[in-house]
Amino acid sequence: MTLRSIQRITITGALVAAFSFTACTEKQQESADTAQEQHQAMNHEAMSPESTTHNTVADAPDYAAAADPIKQQVAQLLGSYLKLKDALVATDPQVAKTEAQAVLTAAGNVDVAGLTAEQQQFATEKLEKIKQSASGIAGAADVAVQRNHFEALSEATFTLAKAFDATSETLYYQFCPMANNNEGGYWVSAEKEIRNPYMGEAMLTCGSTEEVLN
């Protein structure tokens, strides 16, 4: 093989490698741009005036006529949940462990004895889910593991509070489609402003309000 042929092959190989590198870089940039656009779109949706109209996304029976003691007990449970949510927003696993234990205590204090059979069944099912999820959070040192238990805890807490009309304050049932490996996750907040407990500082305002409980 002549020297000229070797030079021609070397130049051709270098051009192919350069083209491949450029194409790969452009593809990575396109993916990053797409992810950023999706995140910006979700933030815009969360702040958009149209987002103030919400449907019912969490079904719950109407037990608002139940006696006051259970309303107060569920309200205390909700208060402990909201502190736990704030700990996850702050990505503080140690505080989350403490607040999850408080949720467990509050759930154990809910007395269903005075309820009807139907109300007892509903409340017992939700309380068991709350206890199971809160136990998982209280027993985990890794915030990622804690967040994996938070979806079930949020659904059970919200529907329990909704069914028994347990609070006079407005609650916002909020959703992040990117939580739980893009499977999505709900949480309950007493504030309209999005503060994402699944993402923390990484994507603090990612999400939208899906239901408002007045």
Question: Using one digit for the tens of pLDDT, what is the confidence trace for 36-93?
Answer: 444 444 443 443 333 344 578 889 999 999 999 999 999 999 999 999 999 999 999 9
174-213 pLDDT, tens per residue?
Answer: 999 999 999 999 999 999 999 999 999 999 999 999 999 9
Mean pLDDT, residues 154-167:
97
- For residue 175, list its beta bridge partners: 186, 208
Which two three-digit tokens encode residue 185? 């996750």
124-154 pLDDT, tens per residue?
Answer: 999 999 999 999 999 999 999 999 999 999 9
**Among 136, 183, 174, CA closest to 155:** 174
- More confident site: 1 or 53: 1
Q: Which pLDDT belongs to residue 54?
A: 55
The amino acid present at 76, given as its one-letter code, is Q
User: What percentage of the chain has pLDDT greater than the value 70?
Assistant: 75
Q: Which pLDDT belongs to residue 39?
A: 45
Q: Is the per-residue pLDDT at 5 higher than 70?
A: no
Q: Which pLDDT belongs to residue 112?
A: 96
Q: Are 212 and 172 in contact (CB under 8 A)?
A: yes
The amino acid present at 173, given as its one-letter code, is Y
Q: Which pLDDT belongs to residue 27?
A: 36
Q: Scanning the structure block, which residue is given the tokens 């051709």?
A: 12
6-26 pLDDT, tens per residue?
Answer: 344 444 444 333 433 333 334
Q: Which pLDDT belongs to residue 58?
A: 87
In terms of DSSP H, where are the helices of 48-92?
68-89
